[in-house]
Amino acid sequence: MKTMPVMVELCVVPVGVGTSLSDYIAACARVLEESGLEHEMHDYGTNIVGEWDAVFAAIRKCHEVVHAMGAPRIFTTLKIGTEIGRTRQLNEKVASVQRKLAQR
């Protein structure tokens, strides 16, 4: 099967465990850390780059871990970007916009 590099934004919202969600998000951060995938957290999710199958295996693992911590329900949103012949690096898109802003 051909490779498919992907940039994903993952945002996991555990439902049914109250309003303090940071323990669950920290557990997902550990899953990503152990996956070896490049990733960067921000206030509304974590951007991840890597091969499609590795990225989605890590996302499934996040669901397994958060359920194992006791969350009965999980609501996750993803953004997924793929491009023919191009592998995006983290912060590449931000850098490109910032160059445009500086040109002015």
Residues binding a copy of itself (CB under 8 A): 2, 4, 7, 9, 11, 13, 15-16, 18-19, 21-23, 25-26, 29-30, 40-45, 47, 52-53, 56, 59-60, 63-64, 67, 71-85, 88, 90-94, 96-101
Contact between 59 and 78 under an 8 Å Cβ cutoff? The reply is yes
Contact between 56 and 37 under an 8 Å Cβ cutoff? The reply is no
Contact between 5 and 50 under an 8 Å Cβ cutoff? The reply is yes
Least Cβ distance, residue 35 to a copy of itself (angstroms) = 15
Contact between 93 and 49 under an 8 Å Cβ cutoff? The reply is no
Cβ proximity to a copy of itself: between 35 and 47 the closer is 47
